[in-house]
Homo-oligomer: A and B are copies of this chain.
């Protein structure tokens, strides 16, 4: 593991690191904020998965999570959204596929399957690295994310309910199988057979019996992607008749940006802290 940068903030340490990923067959970068409480003992870990076009850096710079993470004593891990490097397949004119658009799936179709193993990377390889290099209590993990990363957080929580104690999302893609934002990428990564998509679709997972106790979702009503890309009401529909609890908050005037995310970041960190 290489240290790319370390900066003191709010009494803790914001670091950026890289390592050779076996899952993704390339060097991967990620950010970790370690709160001051880690001096005294292991701290719970909260995973933040970012949205399309983002890297680890967007939320690290604009998310405003450090103040609360330092107060609550939570390690925040911010992975990248895809493999990177000049050897990595990409489609330069399509921001919804390839670099910056890993969708947290394990691709099965060429040429993507050699590197785009983001589900395995996020759920297996990177947790092992975090657990061995940081004072992390891996028995207390939560996960959240934004947009494509909200999709990632919800699907990963639904498939790993014993590992994660909490899940929340900002403006998530809850139904990639029907989202203009995701269909193109899912076809390329997973093939045309939509049965294979269901393991990476929060609504389909619930329909197929996956369960997670409760979700917090914040969504801006002035988000230009609400109708075509996000559609949180589909998840509200999907959980009807199940024992899954959903707190869905719709916010007037808020859009899809980090101005929206940073505004509600405190609520999310407190949501996770109460459950970790």
Contact = CB atoms under 8 A, between A and B. Distances in A.
A234 interface: no
Contacts of A255: 7-8
A257 interface: yes
A66 interface: yes
Given A14-B259, A62-B62, A64-B64, A222 B8 contact: yes
A265 to B, nearest CB: 9
A interface, over-half SS: mixed
Contacts of A254: 8
Contacts of A64: 64, 67, 262
A95 interface: no
Interface residues of A, number: 23
A93 B61 CA distance: 27
Nearest to A61: B62
B9 A259 contact: yes
Contacts of A11: 263
Interface in A1-41: 7-11, 14
A259 B8 CA distance: 7
Contacts of A259: 7-9, 14, 66
A9 B260 contact: yes
A133 interface: no
Nearest to A64: B64
A257 B7 contact: yes
A253 interface: yes
A262 B66 contact: yes
A260 B7 CA distance: 8
A227 B222 CA distance: 48
Nearest to A251: B8
A67 B266 CA distance: 10
Interface string A142-180: 000000000000000000000000000000000000000
A8 B253 contact: yes
Interface string A242-276: 00000000000111011110110010000000000
